[in-house]
Structure 1
Amino acid sequence: CRVLHAFTCSDYVWHRLSIDMPLNLPPVNHPIASLSGAALRHTVISALRLDHNWRKPSPRVGCINIRKNLKDASIMQLQLLGNRHVLVLSRWPDHDELSVWTLNHSLDSRRYRSIPMIQFAAVTASGDCEATVVALCNNQEVIIYPLPLDDVSEQPICPSNHIPGPPEGRISVIELCNDVIATIVARFPENFGLPTYTVMFYNTASKRRFLYEFAPLQLIDRLQIKLYPSCFVLTGVRENSLVAWIHGLPSILFLGNINPETTTLTTEQCPLLAEHVLGSSSIPIEFYVSSEPAHECPSHFSLFAFHSFGEHAKGLADVYHIPLDTSRRRTQFYVSKPTHSFKTAIGKRPEIVCFGKTGFRAVWLDHEWDSDEYSLWKATFPPGEAASVSPLLPPHHPLPFEVHMITSLAFDEAAGRICVGLRTGAVYVLEL
């Protein structure tokens, strides 16, 4: 028994286990291989307990109110930073403001930074002690702010850099991965022709900008980007079909000393590795990818789509897991099928959707047209099993806020943490 116990507690065993659910790991500078077997065992047990609680019809839920109601304020965007902080973008009639709040176990947390902006993305570094915040203020440029998370000073933060977009274009999307920023810049011709797109990369370490022209032959609607360390994925709707394009990233993007400051990337440097058509879909269609930044390249890219929903018909929701490793493939073009599908109720439409980084869990806010009622839902999409979909909480479970007041959600699937922003300016954190 002692030998068996020692074997099952060894680092060797735990580092070779196949784990098919997200783990709430330490900060990015502590890779999983550096964890001891005991620490990894504790993390896996916590993940199993979270999964058991998550799938319950009446899960145990903790609630923290990190910000009270504020007059004339509304929460527009939220992002969880590690296990200790949350970024809150608030909107007043005359200005927008970003604040950082600590996630402690008291009823009140503390704001200590504020930056005016309309949209942002952020990534942590140095063990969650600092963050890089990229702000979009006027659709013409992005601004980089260094954000020390352990400094509680009320002094304003000065931007470290301004990155202008290409001329005559509008920046619509911001994505971050480690030291690289990616944005999509759209240009709309005056003669109502097809829009053209530029993917703009910026390395915050080398302070170099890279431009890649993406000129599709057909109209692409709602173009989005997901950035990984070795590739990027563009997604959009083309002729009523969801399409995902996987492109490689060139090594020049990560070099320290190169000239000039702006480099135009060719199709050879950003080759198309794979194109996935995710089936033909009925209109309307809405699709979502995770907003959590990816520090490592996962095995697959995940996408969550709602379509065929309407006032008098059931809707359909699909989850896709698209492999990112294209080294063993013989062709570039694929028609992919969903790994999970489920029906949605008649007359309901998703209003706000948060999809986990690994595609294992999701939460969303539903709106029923006839009754004008809102409800929160949760889902699990385990590999090889059917989707598990249910209300986040049963109807009899009280919440300290009205669900119809929700304006923003953020989600950390590995921690089971949901951040809720209200039109009253209040912010709550639910922990399953």
Structure 2
Amino acid sequence: MSEPVVLIYLPEDLLLEITAYLSVFDVLSLKQTCRALYAFGSTDYLWRRIVQRIDIPLDLPLDTPLSLLAQYELQPIVLKALRLEANWRRHLPRLKTIRLLPWDTQGQYADEMYLVPGGRWLLTVQRPRQRGGRPGSHLEVWSLENEPYAIACVDVAGFYRTATMELKEGSQSITLAVAYETDDTEAVAVYSVPFRDRSEFLFYTAPTLTPTTTIRLPPHPTVKWQSAKFIHQLSLSDGQLVVSVVDPMGQTGSSLLQVFLVDIKSRVSQWLDPKQLRRFSDVWVKVYAYNGYFLLLGPARQSIILRVYAMPARLCTKLATDPASPFLDLGPAICEYEQPLRHDSQFQDIISVSAPSATSISALVICSFHDTSPRVGQVTRFPLPAAGPGPHLPGATRYFSMPSHVSAQLAQVGPSGRAVWVEHDWEAQNKRILRFQMRKDGWDGRGVSEAVSALLPPDAALPFLPDTVHSLAFDEVTGRVCLGLFNGEIYVMDFV
């Protein structure tokens, strides 16, 4: 060529092809060279492509298509995720901040904690608490932005089972569903938790909410006598409530699991057809509603299987087609994925399944043996049909070894495969907090060399000891970890 080729004179489609081979930091460096490349490096289309090919969890807005997000919104989200990833890969991640919740527990600890995906809202559960001579439970919803404060309280009369929360990005409230038992009846109370500033509360005390609706579970159509069933899982998505019920007597035939679906708006409900649960192994099946899909995840023989169905837009529409049927048939599965379990193990325990994200869902499994062989842990990730923004992560399974004298407690795993748990050493009688990273092939060897390593150093200058941890909540997107102690204190730790 008679004249030298200058990068800025290349067509934009060639520049986009070149940036596909660059890291995010290389793209940022490219933006600093001249005005033309700064303008190109700040285009919305380029950063949408970066988001689609990056393979780490991103804190993207809910219910917002990627095509509507601009570069000035996407770039800080990507950079924050990269900083967390770099810190997570270190041998010992740096703890950026640690905060104590201003919680007057009167010495009673939180039995369970849940973080809404995104890590900005926390649910704490105390059970049981005696109120007026009757058993009950106390729940609080917390805002963790800036200075943490409780935005609402819920008191449940009866034995608490489980709970779930749903946050819609465009709304100004959280939908909270709480399952409980009272007077031999299993029920679910649904609450609307409004977002309110702390200054709006009288004496800065969070209001106690009353349920907007209460759903009592009817008998299963196949049960001919009194059943000892109990609710063991809830899932909530876009007003569709999925209730997993365990029947210890196994009166439904081949499975101990029953699934009840409710449309909260119309109050129409129906039991799921048992035939759609037959391939799975009893109560280890995890059931979710998410983004218009119905998900079944659980073991089947020597595999762990994810089956995806289309959720009816409204249950009443599905019921109108066959009102005489006692069961709801979701029809054929849209897709099914399978990942192996350890074939030589004698027992597999699914100790944690993540809430689904827009693109993936993961499970943490511990495989045990009858002899003194080390246990084998595995994190299995499944892809989901693309229904929202974010990287499209492939399915994968990663294994790690565990000594036979330790156990994983309070485990939490994220949709892309990051996990945190408390390891109990039964010989030394001590605990430490560990983390798992879904390591990729081809890492450059710097940073953590194993998939499992300590989250906190053993001699960290912390205001608590790992032995005092009683409950745990984890959000993989923000790297936020909440620890509840036996003395009632709750600490919020951030790693980015």
Shorter-chain TM-score bucket reads: 0.7 to 0.9
Paired residue for 2:213, among 131, 146, 161? Answer: 161
Paired residue for 1:365, among 413, 416, 422? Answer: 422
Residue 94 of structure 2 corresponds to: 60
Residue 149 of structure 1 corresponds to: 195
The secondary structure found in structure 1 opposite 2:105 is coil
Q: C-alpha displacement at 1:196, in angstroms?
A: 4.3
Q: C-alpha displacement at 1:10, in angstroms?
A: 0.5
User: How far apart, CA to CA, are the structure 1 residues paired with 2:78 and 2:493?
Assistant: 21
* Residue 175 of structure 2 corresponds to residue 124 of structure 1: no
Percent identity of the aligned residues?
24
Q: Which amino acid aligns with 1:425?
A: G
Residue 224 of structure 1 corresponds to: 286
CA pair 193-209 structure 1, distance change in 2 beyond 3 A: closer
CA pair 208-291 structure 1, distance change in 2 beyond 3 A: farther
* Residue 303 of structure 2 corresponds to residue 251 of structure 1: no
The answer to whether the 8 Å contact 1:186/1:196 transfers is yes
Paired residue for 1:2, among 35, 39, 56? Answer: 35
Q: Which amino acid aligns with 1:78?
A: M
The secondary structure found in structure 2 opposite 1:251 is coil
Residue 122 of structure 2 corresponds to: 86
Q: C-alpha displacement at 1:289, in angstroms?
A: 4.5
TM-score, normalised by the number of residues in structure 2: 0.75
The secondary structure found in structure 1 opposite 2:467 is helix
Q: Which amino acid aligns with 1:125?
A: K
User: How far apart, CA to CA, are the structure 1 residues paired with 2:332 and 2:217?
Assistant: 19
Structure 1 or 2, whichever has the larger Rg, is 2
Residue 333 of structure 1 corresponds to: none
Residue 389 of structure 2 corresponds to: none
Q: C-alpha displacement at 1:172, in angstroms?
A: 1.5
Structure with greater helix percent: 2
User: How far apart, CA to CA, are the structure 1 residues paired with 2:44 and 2:273?
Assistant: 47
Q: C-alpha displacement at 1:36, in angstroms?
A: 1.2
TM-score, normalised by the number of residues in structure 1: 0.85
Q: C-alpha displacement at 1:126, in angstroms?
A: 4.4
Q: C-alpha displacement at 1:127, in angstroms?
A: 4.1
Paired residue for 2:59, among 24, 30, 55? Answer: 24
The answer to whether the 8 Å contact 1:63/1:429 transfers is yes
* 1:334-345 mapped onto 2 (5 Å cutoff): 339-345=397-403
The answer to whether the 8 Å contact 1:77/1:90 transfers is yes
* 1:192-271 mapped onto 2 (5 Å cutoff): 194-215=254-275, 216=278, 220-239=282-301, 241-253=302-314, 264-267=326-329, 269=331, 271=333
User: How far apart, CA to CA, are the structure 2 residues paired with 1:38 and 1:342?
Assistant: 39
Q: What value does the CA root-mean-square deviation take over the aligned residues?
A: 3.2
CA pair 247-374 structure 1, distance change in 2 beyond 3 A: same
Q: Which amino acid aligns with 2:407?
A: R
Q: Which moved more, 1:179-188 or 1:216-225?
A: 216-225
User: How far apart, CA to CA, are the structure 2 residues paired with 1:191 and 1:290?
Assistant: 26
CA pair 346-196 structure 1, distance change in 2 beyond 3 A: closer
The answer to whether the 8 Å contact 1:242/1:281 transfers is no
Residue 374 of structure 1 corresponds to: 431
Residue 102 of structure 1 corresponds to: 143
Residue deviations 1:347-397, cap 9 Å, x none? 1110111101222x1111111111111110112114545763210012221
The secondary structure found in structure 1 opposite 2:373 is coil
Residue deviations 1:78-111, cap 9 Å, x none? 12234533111123552320012222444x6346
* Residue 182 of structure 2 corresponds to residue 135 of structure 1: no
Q: Which amino acid aligns with 2:438?
A: F
The secondary structure found in structure 2 opposite 1:39 is helix
